[in-house]
Every structure is written in structure tokens, then in C-alpha cells.
Structure 1
Amino acid sequence: MPLTDSSTGIRAGEELDIDRVDPYLKRHIPGLTGTARVSQFPGGASNLTYLLQYPERELVLRRPPFGHKARSAHDMGREFRILNRLNSGFPYCPKAYVHCTDEAVLGAEFYVMERVEGIILRAELPPELGLDAAQTQVLCKSFIDKLVDLHQVDYVACGLGDLGRPEGYVQRQISGWSERYSKALTPDAPQWQAVRQWLEDKMPADSQRSAIVHNDYRFDNVILDPHNPMNIIGVLDWELTTLGDPLMDLGNTLAYWVEAGDPAPVQLTRRQPSHAPGMLTRRQFADYYAERSGLAVDNYDFYYTYGLFRLAGIVQQIYYRFFHGQTQDKRFAQFIHMNRLLEQMSLAVIRQSSL
């Protein structure tokens, strides 16, 4: 079984018409010949990602999801621009080749980038990697180091100084996700009122340093070198990237970090091997981040709870599309249960918090 990330068959309702895309790509990317074989990468619940295998090279195409799109989300041009400019300061971004704004080609905007071939970790560490606990801890710290490196990029020098508004970022995230959650409510969804009020009451000031915020940094969005799996060679999924408070980005990542001691229902939500022997706990993760970045994480409970609420907002937005028949992807039917669990996890943090 190959360890490098593999594409699969295309999900029903998400077909890509290569006969329409192929002539466009050949006009804009020199050297393409023949007809591409098309397959789909299985990960991701938002933008759709396809592998185009031409005889001489492989390309990756990204397009928005079918159905409902949140306002300002799924901006292909913005993601294309981030990849092209950020690469000069953070050389783990794939190179982007072309951005198509003519929706007649595919029915939506899209862009095409290079394929960075490597290992992407899902729920478990592949035993074929043969990593012991000490090596796994090296990998874990490398993962955190890349997040620190991103947060230390000179985004003005990269030409991304206008990517977002760092001032007031914490307040905008709390109010913005509360508003987005309300708009995505379905009759079976929890209200999150107690958590929303707590976040509003405990909101800290913005940290003293603004940074590029990835907003979706987790193991299944990084690519490992197949020859040295403890080395990260790529970072994917830049659609939510902006400028803001790096500690809020830390909270986003902690929300995905299911550790070995979490109860069984929480383990069912795990999408990365953060529980494996050698992986840091969430608290150790935050402490190591603070040590490497020089930023104190004094409001750990707030940032983690914010991350859980934001994750619930994303989950609910996706479930909203499924609930209203705007996607046929059956994976999303279970997202309502994940939303409810995230609320209970947040309430548990609040009950024991000293904030």
C-alpha cells in the first residue's frame, strides 16, 4: 500500500468535465499534451480538489463546492494570490499556475497548482512509517515549528499586507462566528448560547504581534517527505488564510487536536494521529508553541474554547448544505452529532476554567 497521498474516484454530484477544462489549461500552461485522467482527493469538506494526470506532469485543480456558498468564502482568486506571494517567505506553499475567472469553463471559478507528492497523515500513523514515540515527538514538534514559522513571516515583504485587518481581530472573530453560526442554524442544531456569552465575557485583547493566520492548520493539511517522514515539505488549504492574532490560530489548531486521554466520544471526531505515543498533549502543544514563538499563552482556555466554537460553526455551515439538499455527500449527515459534542466539550472547558 503506497504511503503517498492518493486520489480516488469522484464523488457523486462532484464530477469534473475535463473536456471543457482541458482546452483552457492547454492555452494557459505550456507543454500539456494528451488528455488528463481525473480523480478526486478524498479529504476536505469545503473546496473540492481534483488530480489531473497528464502524460508529462500532474496538476491539482481546486474549485468551490456545489450548492450554498457562505458570503466571501471559497474565493479562488484570493487563495491563488496567497500561494503565489506567500511562497517567497514560506516556501511550503504549492506553486499556483493559473486562475480561471470565466465560469463558463467549469461553472465556477477555479485555479490549478502543482502537485506536491508526499505523505498526508489521516486518523492513524501508518505502521509502515515505523516511527517510535521519540520520532513521533520530533514530528509533532516539527508540525508546531512550521506553524510558528508561518506566524513569523514578514507578510508585508511578501506583498500580503492588505490580506486582512489585524486590529480588532479577536472581537471580529467572536462576533463574526456567532453571526455565521446563527445564519447556519437548522432545527436540530444546538444554540451554543452559554458558550457564546462566555467567549464574549472573557475576550482578551489582541496579542502584541499580528501574523498570517492559516485558520485550518492540522496534520491532514501538511505534506511529509516520503523519504524522511519527520520532515514537512508542504502546507495545503489556504482558503481561510488572513491576517490576525496568531494565538487565535493556535486555538483553531488545538480544537482539532484530540489527545490520547480524551474520552471515547471525542476520539470518534479525530482526523489526525494526535493521540499517538509521543504526540504532545494540547497543553504541552501550547507550551511548546509559546516557547518557540515568544508569545505567552495566558488565556489558553479562551483560545481553545474559541477554536471549538469556530469548528462547530464550520461543521454547521457544511451540515446546513446537507440538511437543505445542496450536497449529496453522505459524510455530512453525521456533522450534527459532531456539533453537539463540540458544545459539550466547550462547556466542560468552561466549567473547570479559572478565567
Structure 2
Amino acid sequence: MKLSALTKVAALSGVAVLTLTSCAANESGSGSADSGSTLSGSIIGAGASSQGSAQEAWVAGFQTVNPDVTVNYDPTGSGAGRETFQQGASAFAGSDRPFKTEEIKAGPFDSCAADSGIVEFPAYISPIALIFNVEGVDSLKLDAATVAQIFSGKITSWDDPAIAAQNKDAKLPSQNIVAVHRSDKSGTTENFTDYLAAAAPAEWAPGAIEEWPSELGGEAAQGTSGVVEAVTNGVGTIGYADASRAGDLATVEIKVGDEYVAYSPEAAAAIVDASPIAGGRGDHDLAIEIDRTTSEAGVYPIVLVSYLVGCEKYSDAANAELVKEYFGYIVSEAGQDLAAEAAGSAPISSTLREKVQIAIDAIS
């Protein structure tokens, strides 16, 4: 569906606050006349809210070394970001999933030249934590089948034998489980349910979904903050959320092979390196097929991998130059460390960085 003129204006208006923030960063002395940068101009990006905190850090850092550049990122959500990019209202997109091959074939990508493919790569990796609030229980160990049955409503009490067998030292109460899920369309939900569908297909029928099926019940909450609040203030609650937002809540170790693995940035990054790049795509489309069923040691399988998407060849050369430099900054060690500090994400590995940089270098 084409964006209407009104929708495009809204998309541009939506980044107004970030524009002011970006300008304020430049005026505050974060950049200087002797920075050595010859870049100038502005670019607009839109998409995944999961990247919001990281994007704020990346924008500030990039503008520190390029004081005549303004980068605006509107965290409207993955779906809206992909649509905005396709219809030419933004120069790049953030997305919690790669474009599907049929979406790429169908097009269009109005910011790109007519004969251009897309550049797509993982830029933000975050573990998704299972958070819970059960009095007297500080940690739990669960396998995929048990998690699937909890969130599908098949296991309803905390002292269920399936939970007790994996947590023999825990004092599990005879208390109802309240499983909290996102009420909104969510990339976090899609990645969480993709794990359930891959690792426990017999116990999880809905597959990988962005929107929670109403027939499964449970408690719905708006956004990551809503899930965290519902789990925190509830009794016998469990939910899923970006690990950086887990705070002081108790969390679950997930069974991988014969071991239980706690989430960590390192364990989240490890599964990306352990997973293959999807076939049937362009040379610079680095969509990852996450291996949720891996038994490799030290790997945490419930992760959100968020992508940046741009054009191999832009119709506007000014966009090409700025997007190319901004993407390069994001995947640099400095850029990835900034995101880790600001958002608790897992820096991409040097192996993946080399592959991504080749894709970025192709932008023209």
C-alpha cells in the first residue's frame, strides 16, 4: 500500500523531536570546527523501537565527529519503518526482522535507484529475558517445552511437576501462573514465539507471530514497559522483555543441549555467529536464520536481532554518502560499544563486522 501524502508528512513530523535533539547536540559543543569531517546534510530513518536507545547514542556519537550532519530516527515500530522506507519517506529503516524475499521482489523501494537491491544487516542484538515474580523464588531453570506450555496455558501452577523436576532446590508455591504477553504488534513477541515454534513445536502451535492470539489467554500489556510493570506488580507473574529492562526481576535460565544458560550479551551474540546467513538473497542482504535449536555451549537462544536496511544504490547521492558513513559508524567497535552501554545490547562479533562492512561498502 502506498503512503498517502498525509502519512508521509506525519512520518517526517514524527522525527521533529529527534531533529531538535540532534541540533541541540551539535550546538552544545559535541562537535567542533576542527573535527576534520567534510560531511554535511541530513538523513531520516525510521523503524524498530527496540533500537531507540541505541539510535539515540549512535546519533549523538556520529554527530560528535560530524557536526554538520543531522540524523533523525523515528522509533515508530518495525512494520511502520519498513513501509516508510519502501515508500521513500526515509533513507533507511530499522527492523526487528529482515524483509521477506517475497516483499523484496514485490517492492517498491522508492529511495533506491530503479535497478538497486537492498543492503540489510544485523546491527542490534539483544537477549530477550523471561522475567518472573514469585515470592521466595530467585531463579528458575526451564526448557523450551515447559516455557511453551506456560505461555499457551497448559501449565497453570508454579508447582507443576514439569517445573519442579527442573528446579529441585526451589520452593515452588501452589500458586496460579499469570503469563504476561504484549498486547501490541511486537518484534519482541515475534522473536520469542519464533523460539517456541522452533524449539518446542509440539507444545507451541501458533508459530512465529507478531501479535498474541487472544485464544491463548494470559494477561496483555502494552509495550515492553507495560510487560515489565505487569510482572513487577503482579503475583505469580511471568513475561518476556528486552533483557536490558529486566531490572531487579528474577529471570529464567534456558536449557540449551544438556545445560541451562542465563542470558548475557556474550551468549546472545554467540547464537548469531552460530547461525547461517539465509540463502536466496542479494549479495549484500545478510539476513540471519537464527538457529533456535542449537545445542552449542554458552549460547542463549531467545534473542532479538534487529536490522538496518538501506539501498545498494540510492536515487539521491547525498543520501548514499550519509547512510554509508552512518552505517559504518554504527557497526564499528565504538558504535557497538555505545549501544551496549546505552541499551545493554550485545556487540556484533568481529567476524560478523567484516561481512557487514563489505555490504556497507557497496552503498553508492
Q: TM-score range by the shorter chain?
A: under 0.3
Which structure shows the higher strand fraction? 2
Structure of greater Rg: 2
Tell which has more relative contact order, 1 or 2 (C-alpha 8 A, sep 6+): 2
TM-score norm. by structure 2 comes to 0.25
